[in-house]
Amino acid sequence: MEEFAKLGLSSWLIEQCRQVGICKPNLVQQNCIPPILEGRDCMGCAKTGSGKTAAFVLPILQKLSEDPFGIFCLVLTPTRELAYQIAEQFRVLGKPLGLKDCIIVGGMDMVAQALELARKPHVVIATPGRLADHIRSSNTFSIKKIRFLVLDEADRLLEQGCTDFTQDLQVILSAVPAQRQTLLFSATLTDTLQELKSVAMNKPFFWESTSEVRTVEQLDQRYILVPEKVKDAYLVHLIQKFQDEHEDWSIMVFTNTCKNCQILNMMLREFNFPSVALHSMLKQKQRFAALGKFKSSVFKILIATDVAARGLDIPTVQVVINHNTPGLPKIYIHRVGRTARAGRNGTAITLVTQYDIHLVHAIEEQINMKLKEFGVKEKDVLQILTQVNVTRRECEIKLECTDFDEKKEINKRKQLILEGKDPDLEAKRKAELEKIKKQKKKFKEHIQETMQKKRDVVVRRKLQKKRLRQKKKAAKMQQ
C-alpha cells in the first residue's frame, strides 16, 4: 500500500483500494496518477485489463475530496454498459466521500436524467449522444465549471465508426470550460494521436506501455481455418468441448451483426447451451439484464456484437471466440481483451475463412505476434455439421417470422431523424444513387462490349489476312 502513498494518494483512498483488492499500483497507475495529481492533461495507453479506469478514477477522487463541488468531472465513454461499469468504480472507491454520480446514456428516461443532472452530481458518466441531447434541450444544468473531462476509449470516441460521435462531441466540447484537465485513455490510442491532441491541448503527458506485443502475455491466441459453411459447427463443437472439460467456465462469442448475434443465440439455445445475446437492437433493459445474468454466471455464454468489445470487465471470462475475423486489428485487440484481465489467463480463438487470411496477417502485424493454430478433430465437427446447419436454418426461419428486420428498418429511420435527416428523402436519394450506379454499370458494360467487339473484328481481320497469306504461299509452292 506504501506504493500508492508514494504516488501522492491519500490514506482514505488507499484503504478504499485495499478493500476492493487493489493493493499495489500497476504500471499505468504508477505512471499516470502523479502527473494527473500535478494538474497535467494525460493520455494513457495500456493493454486491456491493465487497470486504466482506476488510473483516472483515483486522482479525480483525490482532487474532488480536496475541493468538492458538482459537477466536478465528466466522463465520456462509447457504450452504455461501460458507463455503468465506470460509475460503479467511482461509487465504490468514492464511498467515503458520499460521492453523487449520475449516468446519462441513451435508452433510459430522459426526464429522470434531466432531474438528476439538475441536482449537481459530482461526477457525470455519459455516452456522447444522450449528453449532447441534454445540452441541446435543457438549461437546468451546466458543465461550464467542470474540473476534469475524461474520454475513456478515447480513440473510439474520436474515430468515425459506424456510430459517429464527432458531432455530439463538438456540442459537448463547446459546453465544457477551456480551463480543465483532460484525461484520455485506451488500449489503442496511437492511430488517433493528432485528434486526441486537439482535445487535450494543455501539453498532455503521454504514457504508453512499452511492451512489444500489444496483447497481454497471459492470453493464448489461436485461430482455426474453417470454410464459411462449417463455422457454426465449429462454434458448437468448441463450446461443447469447454463445457465438458471445465467445471467453471464462461465464454464470450463475438459476431459481426445484430441479426447473426440473435440467430447464434437462438441456435445455441436449441442445443441447450446457457447463452444470452447482447446487441444494439435489444431494448436497454434487455441489454442490462443479459449482461447482469452473464456476469453473475446464470448464463455462461454471451453472444455479442462489438457493442461489448471494449472495456467490459468480467473477470470470469476464460475464453473469447471470434465467430468472424474482425476487420480491424484494433477491434481484435479489444475483443480478445475481454479475457486474460488483471493478470489472469485466458484463450482467444478466431474462426478464419479462406477470405479472411489477409485480416489475420494485418492483426498479427499490429499485435506483433503470430496466432497459433487451434487443433480440432475435424471428424468430430463433421459429425454434427448437418444437425447444426439444419438448426441454424430453422432459427433463421423463426427469426424471419418475427419483426426483427422491420425493427432494424425502424431503428435506421430513427437514427436518420436523430441526425437531422428526412428518412423518406434519404430513401429516395439512396434509390436514385442506386439507379445512377446501375446506369453507370450498364454504360461501362456497354463500352466494354463495344471495345471487345472491335478487338474481335481486329483479331478476325488479322486471322483472315494470315490465312490469305498462307493460301498465297501454298499456291506459290504448288506452282
Ligand X SMILES: Nc1ncnc2c1ncn2[C@@H]1O[C@H](COP(=O)(O)OP(=O)(O)OP(=O)(O)O)[C@@H](O)[C@H]1O
Site residues for ligand X per CB under 6 A: 22, 24-26, 29, 46, 48-54, 187, 311, 313, 315, 337, 341-342
**Least CB distance to ligand X at residue 159 (A):** 16
Minimum CB distance to ligand X smaller for 33 or for 276 = 33
C-beta closer to ligand X: residue 46 or 277: 46
Of 29 and 182, nearer to ligand X (C-beta) is 29
| Residue 151 host element (H or E) | strand 148-152
Per the CB < 8 A criterion, the answer to whether 82 and 104 are in contact is no
Q: Are 87 and 103 in contact (CB under 8 A)?
A: yes
Which has the closest alpha carbon to 101: 71, 136, 144, 65? 71
Of 237 and 341, nearer to ligand X (C-beta) is 341
Q: List the one residue out of 290, 271, 264 whose CA is nearest residue 395.
A: 264
Residue whose C-alpha is closest to residue 22's, from 30, 347, 470: 30
CB 27, min distance to ligand X, A:
9
Which grid coordinates belong to 320? 473469447
d(CA 269, CA 276): 9
Query: Shortest distance, CB of residue 156 to ligand X, whole angstroms?
Result: 11
Closest by alpha carbon to 73, among 105, 120, 112?
120
What is the Cα–Cα distance from 464 to 80, expressed in whole angstroms? Answer: 74
Cite the DSSP H helix spans in 174-252. 193-199, 231-245
User: What does residue 110 show for φ and ψ, rounded to 5 degrees?
Assistant: -75, -35
What is the smallest separation between the CB atom of 192 and ligand X, expressed in angstroms? 15
Q: In angstroms, what is the minimal distance from the CB of 215 to ligand X?
A: 11
Kindly state the smallest distance separating residue 30's Cβ from ligand X, in Å: 9
Alpha carbon distance 276, 301 (integer Å)? 6
Instruction: State how far the Cα of 88 lies from the Cα of 224, in Å rounded to an integer.
Output: 37
Closer residue to ligand X, CB minimum distance, 172 or 309: 309
- Of residues 36 and 395, the one with the C-beta less far from ligand X: 36
CB 337 within 8 A of CB 48: yes
Q: Who's near 225: CB < 8 A, 6+ residues apart?
A: 352, 353, 354, 357, 373
In the complex, minimum distance from the CB of residue 218 to ligand X, in angstroms, rounded to a whole number: 13
State the cell numbers at 40. Answer: 497535467
Q: Which is nearer to ligand X, 95 or 377 (CB)?
A: 95
Nearer to ligand X, 59 or 70 (CB): 59
Residue whose C-beta lies closest to ligand X: 51
Q: How far is the CB of 390 from ligand X (least distance, A)?
A: 38
